[in-house]
Chain A
Amino acid sequence: MNKFKFFLCASSLAIFTLGGIVSIAAPDVEFSEDENRILQPLPEIDGKAIVDGDFQLQMNDYLTDRAAFRNEFMRIYAFSQKLMGKSEYNGVYVCDDDWIIEVYNEPENTVQICDKFNKAAEKTGLSCSLMLIPTAVSIYDDVLPPNVSFKTTQRDVCDYFYSNTEMNCIDLWDTFENNRNDVQLYYKTDHHWTTDAAYLAYKEYCSTLSFEPLDKSDFDIEIVSDKFLGTTYSKALSAFPSYDEIVAFKQDMTGITVTYPQGEGELYADEFLEKKDKYSYFLNSNQSQVIIENENVDNGRVLLIVKDSYANCLVPFLMNHFEKTVVLDTRYYRNGASFAAEECGATDILFCFNLNTLDTDTAIAGIY
């Protein structure tokens, strides 16, 4: 017999068997930091579930999720996709100049979501603003792989919303287009915008609502991390990443108190800078509710922000213009915006969402 064949046969069976043994021996991991998702836990044995086949399906996922060397295999997978010449895999575009940009899918729920926003705004009867944030896929479209094309662009969706609502629309397109070359508006390895972009959005908000925005020089601008590899990197897993910097616009916090559901806290959570998910530095990740009271302001206005995680780095700017700023993540809040507005005595409401996940954002279900 050919000894090479024998070797291949033996190594395949050894790899499979060892794979199984090592997987069983390894401790269960509940959360995959690289993929940013909860792994399938061990399903409970239950007669009905076995008869339905649900138990077996969950067991399959469990065994696949806890396979040995999972993170290494993820890297091999990403590498092999690259080897095959792919510029789009795992839901990201691997672009020129080290950009890794989240894939934008054809939106399907524009009309329904717009309707939801309008109903929610109408019901409150307050001064409502809508800020839809374009993402890197639109603003830095020149680095996308050649020939990527979209039937409906983020701009189309944004235009539809803005022309079908009575709310104050905060249009970020011009300011982003004008500043895209001077400041980096998005992280290269994460799906979020940078604090610089949030500052531009803040200025736009102020000019729409006739506030006097704070100047850059009013802040103490600090690079808090230069080792950020975010969510899009986790999907592309390139071998030679280019790290992002995280910048914070810090300011004097006297007279300002930040309250989380678990008690008083800081605007910025330093502990996240040591972890993988460094964007959670802003407002302590996604909290169900954050209340910021600012004694330095005396205008009788209370702002309710209904938002996704993009707003987390925008809030520190906005809080300077309201006596109280209430930040609400509707994923954890199902009573609707108008109820929340009444509860906190809001005078202003800001709906703030990014255009990439707007279409599929589960948080929007709690708006109205």
Chain B
Amino acid sequence: MGEYIIEMLNITKTFPGIVANDNITLKLKKGEIHALLGENGAGKSTLMSILFGLYQPDSGEIRKNGKPVKINNPNDANDLGIGMVHQHFKLVDIFTVLENIILGVEPNKMGIIQKDEARKKVLELSEKYGLKVDPDAYVEDITVGMQQRVEILKMLYRDNEILIFDEPTAVLTPQEIRELLQIMRGFAREGKSILFITHKLNEIMEVADRCTVLRKGKCIGTVNVKDTTKEELSRMMVGRDISFKVDKKESKPGEVVLSVRNLNVVSKSHGKNLVKDVSFNVRAGEIVCIAGIDGNGQREIVNAITGLERPTSGTITLCGHDITKASIRERSIRGISHIPEDRHKHGLVLDYKLEENLVLQRYWQPEFQNKGFIKFDAVRKYAERLIDKFDIRSGQGPITITRSMSGGNQQKAIIAREIDKEHELLIAVQPTRGLDVGAIEYVHKQLVATRDAGKAVLLVSLELDEVMDVSDRILVIYEGEIVGELDPKTTTLEELGLYMSGAKRDNAKEINDGREE
């Protein structure tokens, strides 16, 4: 019986054209938090899907407590005590929290569900582990953080002792992340074993006991977290040194490019002020970051500037032109480039070819059309140039269907399109969300390069490291108001956190005056 509760030995899994897992061995000790680290496409999810019974390995063996087991489907995995929180939650939106938790294992007497019994057990579990949920709320009405707690309760309700978390922090705010890591530590103390898939090094350093690193389907090694460093881990993951500090010179702010004055946005659905009297400037040659916890009005400010939504009142001026009521196309012509928050929803037509997406903002310009007919050879040439310049990788170059590309390369395509387009102001909303370390480094370099080319950059980010490293000036937003203006060189993460949580604020008047010159 060794100390290992789960052993995955020499697992190999191939898909047509790719070896997703190449002879990987992963051993999970009882009661540990074991991180599985790797870039997008390194084979983490495949390996976990094998453990969860979604895929069968081509070769290799899985053992539980030293005994070989065969996991043909998720039910087998469940019987072995293996539970998984998927990256994209698998919940029924129109069911309540309680109904979702008991789904598939409903306690019943002759076919009649015994909800009270279930509710008691769920409330006990929720109490015990500090997983606050409302059992009668509908899943479609609750926050992403609470949905995740429902997924965790699902595992606990089934008495799972091996818990797989697939990139659980990707969708959470910093506060929720802290809570989650706390909860995971609690599980480990209880003797549950945790597999934690992530590519965020800070979280591994904070919570994990050991870490196995995958790269391009191969196992690079397993290390004790306390004997290693972030730099070491990232070298193992990417295969080269990654600089965490963004390399940039002092900014030289020039003319005001974007000026927002007394912006107010009132919610159509509940009449609340989502943005309250916000004023700020962004100058040429500087990166201004709007920092804040998700849902504090960032989206509404960006939508008002880009034209996706009309503000209730206030003015927006771009290079001296009032664009408050301009159409989206006019703003684009006047020099706004926009890297949207949701690249699948807004940024790309996924069923279009890469080349068609690369001209999404410019297809109507004389360079690409003549009397209403698209010049496809010009589009092709342009796409090839961007692909080359921005190192966008895809299966078939310009004619690749965008849906089939990796997330990182889809983001590169958007960045290429928005940066190469004539612009004075680049608005980047969470431009590194869901990207791996290498891609994040790339995006940050591009933002700084845009700034150095004399453009104004407005960055909206939830990642505190990104806020501190990339920006030249930080505006903190809390409940729709700008509550502070900070200099990343002199401020600390703690101070930033205080502003973000509303615990500290400067006089709004002062902030505005400070910027007015």
A, B in one complex: no
Binding site for A on B (CB under 8 A): none
Binding site for B on A (CB under 8 A): none
